Amino acid sequence: MEDFSNLTLAEIVNKNFLAATVFEKYNLDFCCRGNRQLKEVCMTNNLPLETIIEELKIIGQSNNSDLAYEQLSFTQLADYIVLTHHEYIKNAMPVLYRYLLKVATKHAAIFPELKKIFQIFVAIKKEMEIHLHQEETVLFPGIKKLEASPPGEKNNAVADDSFLETPIHLLEEEHNHAENFFEEIKELTNNYSPLSTACTMHKLCFSMLQSFEKDLEQHTHLENNILFPKALKLLGLSHSG
């Protein structure tokens, strides 16, 4: 088990960006004063070292799932996506927004690409907020109701087939749009590779953006390749992809 107490705040965050949420909770500056050891910071600020270490261990635990996604019902899969990927996005976006705004404001003179990266992320954030709302309030509840209806009554559960086809098509277009945004970000960040002269928060932003993209890829895969085809199949419709 890693000895967090002897690592600096910057080292801990660089190993796992989620550690930033723990340090923020205790008002610890891991950016400009990130070169201090955790045990030193806790002693200076009279903070509970063991408690903070336990919290760091918890966020460091793997969240990989061995679920057989294709065997889940629509309802089970939709709930999994909301609880896992939607919650991740909702928690990560405001943090990334704050961090990107901070580095863009402070370091754009040296790294002018930071302003463009921030602008792209603002567009991603705006679109994802609408996207999640549409899924959680319209599409998912409607399909759950459809899935729960008796087999002979499924065609009566919705007005017409466009109930599924239209929103699914729009959501897939939004997935493509988000992917294009991240292609721009990868080009601007040299595939999430900050220069050695970048500050800790600058590096953290790149790491968080990379993790955000990876989560979005899995999220998109579950919807485009499993959940949406499963939903359309309820009405005997094929999925064009």
**Confidence at residue 62, expressed as pLDDT on a 0 to 100 scale:** 43
What mean pLDDT value characterizes the chain?
85
Q: For 163-168, what is the mean pLDDT?
A: 78
Q: What token pair was written down for 134?
A: 């549409």
pLDDT in tens, 183-195: 999 999 999 999 9
Name the 3-class secondary structure at 83.
helix
Q: What token pair was written down for 187?
A: 């080009």
| pTM assigned to the model | 0.76
Which one, of 76, 65, 2, 17, lies nearest residue 209 by Cα? Answer: 17
Q: Are 77 and 227 in contact (CB under 8 A)?
A: yes
Q: Are 127 and 177 in contact (CB under 8 A)?
A: yes
Which of residues 100 and 229 earns the better pLDDT score? Answer: 100
Which of residues 4 and 24 earns the better pLDDT score? Answer: 4
CA distance 55 to 93: 21
Q: For 229-239, what is the mean pLDDT?
A: 69
Cβ neighbourhood burial of 94 (10 Å; 0-12, 13-18, 19+): exposed
pLDDT band at 226 (very low <50, low <70, confident <90, very high): confident
pLDDT in tens, 175-221: 999 999 999 999 999 999 999 889 989 999 999 999 999 899 889 98
Residue 158: is its pLDDT beyond 90? Answer: no
CA distance 77 to 79: 5
Question: What is the enclosing helix (H) or strand (E) of 76?
Answer: helix 74-81
Name the 3-class secondary structure at 74.
helix
Residue 239: is its pLDDT beyond 60? Answer: no
Q: Are 128 and 178 in contact (CB under 8 A)?
A: yes
Q: Are 45 and 39 in contact (CB under 8 A)?
A: no
